[in-house]
Structure 1
Amino acid sequence: MDLTSLPLTSWLFDGAYGLLMGLADILAPFLGATSAAAAIILITLVVRAALIPTAISMQRGMQSRARLAPKMQELQKKHKNNPERLQREMMQLYSDEGTSPFAGCLPMLVQAPVVGIIYALFIHPQINGHANDLLTHTFAGVPLGSSLAGEIAAGTLTWPTALVFGGIVVAIAAVGEITRRVFRPKVPATADASAASKNVAKTDAAPNPAAALQSPTVLKMLGFLQFITAVFACFVPLAAGLYLFTTVTWTLVQRIILQRRFPMPEPVAA
């Protein structure tokens, strides 16, 4: 099903198409064939800048949840045999502190449709009944509507194209690795890996998030999650790959700044 042709969504895609083409036309005298790529990067920056207040709220929420971790552990010990009571007490604690376990989800929820729209704009030859001129634009000589997986499947991958896609994928992975290293969960100095594993095992009925994060297996999984975006970039159009690289880079810089502004409390050993 072509979502761009549905009555309820055709105007949205057509509006996004008009915005991108308008920005590309404005930038064309200065950037030539890469004007559409620059327009995508510019829109990404505008979207992320608009989400700065929610990012601040997210960091404050993380700070509050980290501060509440010792109280959460006490509740989990007290009500470990009564999951329903534990859930009520935890939600009440969040409510009393003016935070939520789901605080900070808005940036991800907002960005999902944005990257979805960009993805759709560069895979459909027609938008709302007219030709999609965005597909004529390129970045470093590579069409913005092409994908690394698609080029490989079609047998049309060339070395220049591979270098462009490879550069973006490697750059996204590099940002993910820096993010993993900078924001690796801290383990209390007196808590070792075996103790963390025992803490997780003891709380099967009411898992302890703080103890779970100390598990070597969980830490390794959290590190791998940083590279999912790089894998995703192999399958989406080049235009969406540019969006992903821009947004993960913005996220890293923003998190570093907010971490300094709203530092996390040191973890307390169980």
Structure 2
Amino acid sequence: MRRPLAVLGPGLALALLLVTGCEPAPRVDHTAAGSDSPAVVRSAGESAALFTPTQPVTMNVKGYWSWAYYDHTTDQMYGSTPYTTSDTASMAKAWVVADWLRRQAEQKKQPSSAALAELSRMIRDSETENTFKYHAQNGNLTSIKRMITLCGLTDTKGTQNSWSLTQMSARDVTRLAKCIGDGRAAGPKWTGWLLNEMRNVRGPGRFGPIEVLPADVRKTTAIKNGWLARDDGQWHIACMAVGDGWSLGIMAHYPSSLGKDYGVKTCREVTKQLLTRH
């Protein structure tokens, strides 16, 4: 575990100031994340009242993890650097659904009740079988490239014929979440429908930030998570949440022997540390 370059205590702050030319660099903290500890760059601006993203997030866990918080009202991003990527796994289903619905509306088509039922299960229950079908209809890799352009992603890379292998940074997760929340992803006709489905995720996919948010906030928060033990011997966990004026992204991968709950706890604990009120 690395020692932090900046330690914050109650009412106290010891900041490390770096100077390049005549301009000071942002304040830098190091989070505790095993051998892959990312530096946290604090940008200027205020966060929504629910979160305090300027406080350090410290974790002592094995493997890789990173987080990002996006304050939509101030257009400020907070979180872990460098902006390393990890698998989205089932989190990408939110984009598959959004892209398909928006394009249907653009073509003046009305999805059938059967299609909407399938899309609903893809979000609420993280059903995988139909995701391949709709991703193919979206154009496979073309759809991921469309997501990158439409949502202004900077660290994301797609893989042909796969939605779950999409590589995304935590900050791009928050940008995707905002893109869904503000209507760009699904379009004006279907955004409300998609957000409602994401607020009603159930079963094994309902974990992470939603577990520790205050009860009143939980009701209005939309989520889509990803979780998968891959052949590389790693569990890959992705957590995405979007609320009123904010979005949160957390990514992790670690030895498969530690199990899914290890990553679930990481998403939950990062969120808990960022919360102003519990």
User: TM-score, normalised to structure 2's length?
Assistant: 0.26
Greater relative contact order (Cα < 8 A, sep 6+):
1
User: TM-score, normalised to structure 1's length?
Assistant: 0.26
Higher relative helix content: 1
Higher relative strand content: 2
